[in-house]
Structure formats: structure tokens, C-alpha cells
Amino acid sequence: MIRSPLMTVMTDAVMKASRSLKRDFGEVENLQVSRKGPGDFVSAADRKAEKILREALEKARPGYGFVMEESGIVVGTDQSHRWHIDPLDGTTNFLHGLPQFAISVGLERDGQVVAGVIYDPAKDELFIAEKGKGAYLNNRRIRVAARNELVDAVVACGLPHIGKGDHGLFLREAASVMGNVGGMRRLGAAALDLAYVACGRMDAYWERGLHSWDVAAGILMIREAGGYISDADGGSDPLNKGSVACGNEIMHRELLKLLKKAKG
């Protein structure tokens, strides 16, 4: 387990925000039958969790900047550090009462992610990583899966939805991948998809149309678990390119080949 002051700050902030999300998630089912629907309620839950995270992190590390889903970019007096925060990754799942969502916090230092926390409140699973110190799930060291044959692999993906993403490209990519792997999954929370590859539950994962707050913590999680991660076109800057592809060395390489083939 990592017991650095930085990790303590991050996990304390995340756990504090998670208590708010847990309470709100307990209310979602009751809202499903209301005429107005739970959308406004979930947006409020999202903003409330982000406010808790921001206040806790500002108090512990004054001057650090923020890149946030709800509140946008906040430039700090410390130009070297920025928090990338997603207070509720998997909003659609949360909205429908599906217990597959997470809080994700990553710390960027001089352009590199150096620490990450992903917490799944519904399952009480805490994924943490710090540069050079490994990746952990609830105090247990984690590694990417060792499978090296696509036919045995389970691959996670993201699905574009109405008004979002290149549907045609995704269909070509999905066709390319599904014909070569043991199974495909769409779970609906990018941070958890990355964490699941890091701990070996999934063998590979790709998605487009992402933001830095979706992937910052997960990028480091993959690398500290011995995996490889790039953008979906093989570039070296997934934090800023809006897409990811990851797995162990072999799975990552083979996945990129299939995605490239789909683009033609």
C-alpha cells in the first residue's frame, strides 16, 4: 500500500466525496417513477461531489490548478500542478440505478500524471497509483493480465451515443475487434475500464471521445500495473488526445493493429 502524504490527501478527499454520492445513489431509484425524472437530481449530485473534492484538495494543496468536468479549468498559482477531477464517471449508469460508477482524481505535474485514485463507492473498491510506487486495489498490488492471445481476451470499449462520436468509425472498429477476441464488454465508466485492465479483469480497452478527467488517474494506473497505454491511434499523449487504447504489451500492440485496420 502507498502511504505517502499525497496519497493520503487524495484518498481522504475521494472518500469524503463518496459519502455524498452514496447517499444520492440511494435516492435515484425513488426518482425513477417521478414525472420529472432523476436527471436534474443526478446533475446536482455530480456538482456536489465535485465541490467536496475541490474544497478538500484546495485546503490540502493550495495553489494547485484544476481541470474539472463540471466547473472547467481553474488556473492555480502553482503552474506545475493540476488536478484532473471526474466526480461521477458513469453518470448514465448512476442515473439508471446501475452500480457501475466511480470518482476519479489524477494529479498532473509538469505534464505528467504522477498520482491517481479511482474509487467505486458501490463495490467499495479503491484503486490507487503513484509514479514509481506501483498500483493497488484495496491494499493489494495489482498487475495487468498476462494473456497473450487475442482469442482468449476480453476487451472493453466505449460506445458513442446520440449526438456524440463517430458512429461509423466505431462500428468498423468493433467489427475488426470482435472478430478476433474472446469477448467484448461495454460497462459505461471509463475510469473503471482502465482500473479493470490494470488489475487484470479486462485484457484490453479502447475508447474515443474522452476527456482528461476521465483518464488521468487510469493512465497512471495502467503504467504502474505494468501495462501499456496510448491514444487510440498509437500516439504517446492519451491525456490530451481524447482517446485511449491499453493492455499488456502484446494486447496493446494487437489492439492498435485492429483499430488501424478499421480506419483503412
pLDDT, one tens digit per residue, over 217-258 is: 999 999 999 999 999 999 999 999 999 999 999 999 999 999
Residue with cell 485514485: 117
pLDDT tens per residue across span 249-260 = 999 999 999 999
Q: What is the pTM of this model?
A: 0.95
- Residue 40 has a pLDDT of 64
Position 48, amino acid: K
Please, what sign has the CA dihedral across residues 149, 127, 136, 215?
A: positive
Residue list, annotated binding site: 69, 86, 88-89, 214
For residues 143 and 225, the answer to whether their CB atoms sit within 8 Å is: yes
Q: Which percentage of the chain shows pLDDT scores above 70?
A: 95
Give the pLDDT confidence of 146-163 residue by residue, as tens digits. 999 999 999 999 999 888
pLDDT, mean over the chain: 94
Q: Which three cell numbers stand for residue 96?
A: 439508471
- Binding site for Mg(2+), residues? 69, 86, 88-89, 214
Nearest to 69 by CA among 258, 210, 194: 210
Structural domains of the chain, with CATH: 5-141 (3.30.540.10), 150-263 (3.40.190.80)
DSSP-derived secondary structure letter, 100: -
156, 197 Cβ separation under 8 angstroms: yes
The rounded distance, in Å, linking the Cα atoms of 164 and 209 is: 8
Q: Are 248 and 203 in contact (CB under 8 A)?
A: yes
